[in-house]
Chains A and B, each alone.
Chain A
Amino acid sequence: MDFILLSILKTAIAAPVLLGTLAYLVWIERKVLAHVQLRMGPSRVGPHGLLQPIADAIKLLTKEDFIPSYVNHFYYWLAPWLALMFAVTAISVLPVGPVIELFGVKTNMGQADISIGLLLILGLTGMGVYGIALAGWSSNNKYSLLGGLRSSAQMVSYELPMALAIASPLLIVNSLNLREIVNGQAGYVFGIIPNWNAIGGLQIFSFLIYLICAFAETNRIPFDLPEAENELVSGYNTEYSSMKFAAFFMAEYANIITACSVATTLFLGGWHPIIPNELGGQFIPTLLCLFFAGVLFYHALNPARPSDRISMGVIGLVIAGLGLVFQVPVVKELAQPLFWFASKAGFLIFVFIWVRGTVPRFRYDQLMRFAWLVLFPAALLNLLFTAFVVAAKSN
């Protein structure tokens, strides 16, 4: 089948999934934060607020697109879409599964499979700063300008330790192609410990450094200086409303997804199961799903609210069905890698939200000092150490 057609097909599948994920990520974040803070979170629209994202989308689309009179129109309009574009494009090189054969077509689960995928992701995320910086500058407002300046300085500073942290697993798997990186982490030490870079590859330090840098790169708490509400009245996107604001919002979450997926690919062995399949790793998805379904059924039988009796039951049934899907012979090849990848990335995203719920914000000078005086040397040392180890192994 033709390459171009295939790519279009993949995109057609991937784009709505991605948008849906972005939308529901907001819901998840709000829920998790709410429970961290002992609140209910969105619970009015639909069962457990499950329809909240749709409501939000409608609201954002129909809101008045208010443009202040003194902004630089072109860049004011350009900035959010620039940010969103780069954020989403970066995802396109991420493989979520191995090369599979479907309807006689061999293809890899992922948009593009290029030999410099990682570098491309770095470059695109690096470009992402333009959106924010431009937004800050073009909205002609000192808070926004400060936000833009902060974000550009912060991103440039945190890209260095990030790149260094990425470099050390690369030394081990010795490729820049994301699929090869994942394949390089296949197998198990002593047959049981997964040979992932973060665990079997002993790259836990660079994993942590990468994670911290990812927080900074995505402007998340504790590094959300560019949009610090209480200092800069939410910084670069102060002047934005309705769909442009939504674009920034989605860009942020897309960046989070990218960062987590990259972390999964680089450090957590991509789609490889945590236990070898022959030791029953292939049953874990099903078991997990059934377990959750069981919990839900329990809640359905003795509900907190009357509506739960139906909703919980339905959701439970869905999840149980999903669990059974993982054992269907053909689909299995496709579904299990997806499950593992998604669960790992999802866990990391949960960590993002968790941190947001618990950690206070840095001061700006602390932020910079942390980047240059702590992370950078740490990453360098780690890289050096890894290099020595690899060299020692190679001969």
Chain B
Amino acid sequence: MDVILFTFFALVAIVGAVSLVLQKHPISSALSLVSVMVALAVLFLLLGAEFIAAAQLVVYSGAIMVLFVFVIMLLNAGAERESRKGGLAQFLGLPLTAILLVFASTVITQSMSNAKAVKFGAFAGGGPREVGWELFTRYLLPFEVTSILILIAIAGAVVLARKEID
């Protein structure tokens, strides 16, 4: 069961990510990103992170991506044009990322070879209660600081997006 779920949603995630990169139209990219996020949410569930999975749904695909779609529609962003700039990125981009991927996976396989396998339900420490407990005891200060960060972000967004009066 685990294997099937994992493979299916991993494939969904990868296909979504690829289509995010390859799609020409921003809306399509956005929707493929949403699919990636939903798939990831399921994987979180498999890893026993219920709360994070729900948060992934609510925050990422429910709010952030809606914001993206909203902005894309608002600006009526069309398909992008080609440009000759960024030669370095164009030519080195693919090999670089490939090398990065190879290195990363080698490191992972080296260091994680003896790690325990993932069984659904083996780790039940990801419920809202546990996360909330940690969040409000050991991580209280970072939590508060994050709230301040969000406040600042709100103010900045308002200031930026306001039509300048002139």
Contact = CB atoms under 8 A, between A and B. Distances in A.
Whether A and B touch (Cβ < 8 Å) is answered with yes
A127 B73 contact: no
A156 interface: yes
B70 interface: yes
Contacts of B63: 126, 156, 159
Contacts of A75: 27, 31
A114 B70 contact: no
Contacts of A156: 63, 66-67, 70
A130 B60 CA distance: 13
Tell me what chain B mostly uses at the interface: helix, strand, loop, or mixed: helix
Interface stretch (B4-12, B47-55, B104-112, B133-141): B47-55
Nearest to B56: A123
B70 A176 contact: no
B70 A116 contact: no
A124 B54 CA distance: 10
B39 interface: no
Contacts of A176: 128
Contacts of A122: 54, 57-58, 62
Contacts of B54: 116, 119-120, 122-123
Interface stretch (A103-111, A147-155, A197-205): A147-155
Chain B interface bracket (under 10, 10 to 19, 20 to 34, 35 or more): 20 to 34
B40 interface: no
Nearest to A153: B70
B136 to A, nearest CB: 12
A129 interface: yes
A119 B57 contact: yes
A158 interface: no
Nearest to B60: A123
Contact of A116 (B34, B51, B67): B51
Given A114-B50, A119-B128, A133 B70 contact: yes
Contact of B27 (A119, A137, A153, A159): A137
A136 B160 CA distance: 27
Contacts of A152: 66, 69-70, 73
A37 interface: no
Report whether over half of chain A's contact residues are helix, strand or loop; otherwise say mixed. helix
Nearest to A146: B73
A137 B67 CA distance: 14
B57 A120 contact: yes
A115 interface: yes
B127 A115 contact: yes
A130 B73 CA distance: 12
A116 B34 CA distance: 20
A281 to B, nearest CB: 33
B70 A127 contact: no
Contact of B73 (A126, A137, A155): A137
Nearest to A124: B57
Given A126-B58, A126-B62, A126-B66, 9 more contacts: A116-B51, A119-B128, A122-B54, A123-B54, A130-B66, A133-B69, A149-B73, A152-B66, A159-B63
10 contacts: A115-B128, A116-B50, A122-B54, A123-B54, A127-B61, A137-B69, A137-B73, A149-B70, A149-B74, A156-B66
A-B residue pairs, 6 tightest by C-beta: A126-B62, A123-B57, A119-B54, A123-B58, A116-B54, A152-B70
